[in-house]
Amino acid sequence: MRIVYFYIAIIFISFSYYGCSQDMNNQKKLTTEEERVIVHKGTEPPFTGKYYNFQGKGTYICKRCSTALYSSSDKFDSECGWPSFDDEIPGAVKRLTDADGRRTEILCTHCDAHLGHVFEGERLTDKNVRHCVNSISLEFVPADTTKTEKAIFAGGCFWGVEYYFKNEPGVKSLAVGYTGGTKENPTYKEVCTGRTGHAEAIEIEFDPAKTNYETLAKLFLEIHDPTQLDRQGPDMGNQYRSTVFYTSDEQKKIAAKLISILKDMGYKVVTELLPAKTFWRAEEYHQDYYTKTGGAPYCHTRVKRF
């Protein structure tokens, strides 16, 4: 069936023209005052924090694990005495009922560092939310030093995987291609034989100030069936296998955690975790395929799993 789609694509083209929990040992050593707030859930005195009246452009990251938490574009002056944000980077901040039973505590999703509290209904901004954060729980990374990161996923036909990541917030660029095998500069025809060892994959460049790897990995595990071995829907062969090609130990840990969650839920996940290898960009007619053809994925559907 995939070959049929391939030849349809050729005919059409001829007529027309893109942080999770770190190890405790990797977390930064805290000062006594930082530990009082971040570990023991204390609060710094109001109007004293270094970021209260700070107006720099960039990203606020977790003091303990360096995960991106807030963008400066979401910071506002609430006159409350602490830095205030009306939004967080998706997936970076979690909420728990405070020990007092009334307020809602906010913590770094990845290392559980105490950040402060979140309040709603104050009508201070259009989003009607205020993250009241201790400066001491944060570090600031100026916009001109913020770097992009890469993520590589393989989950069946790369047309479908690209389709779902194309408009994902924080994704700056993406390309479909081949990776994981031994053949240099492989062609689509060669990869289709299943003898190159390559998988159809997508390479994503993302802005860690606007999203994070865990959010992208969750999306990946929801837009294809991670329980199918060497296939995805009607597409069969090892080039359609489910694989996370991690570019760092942190990415490996995040992906392993998510896979473990799915297994605990009863999913028989077969997704591999492999270190990233050379990514070979696919032929141009494969890039942005569904935009060019006006089609939609035939073997990828998003299923909410997290």
So which residues are the catalytic ones? 132, 157
Task: Say which residue the tokens 């770190």 belong to.
Answer: 22
And the tokens for 68? 């991106």
Alpha helices in the chain (DSSP H): 2-15, 32-38, 158-165, 188-192, 213-223, 249-264, 289-293
Rounded distance, CA 259 to CA 180, Å? 20
Distance separating alpha carbons of residues 185 and 159, to the nearest angstrom:
19
* Bridge partner residues of 243 (DSSP): 154, 272
Q: Cα–Cα distance between 301 and 175 in angstroms, integer?
A: 20
Tokens standing for 45? 């005195």
- Closest C-alpha among 229, 134, 212, 218 to residue 170: 212
Q: In what order do the strands lie in the sheet with 199-206?
A: 272-275, 242-246, 149-155, 199-206, 171-179, 280-281
| CA nearest neighbour of 235 among 268, 191, 294, 177 | 191
Reported as type and span, the H/E element at residue 243 is: strand 242-246
> What DSSP line would sit under 167-221, residue for residue?
T-TTEEEEEEEEESSS-SS--HHHHHTT-S--EEEEEEEE-TTT--HHHHHHHHH
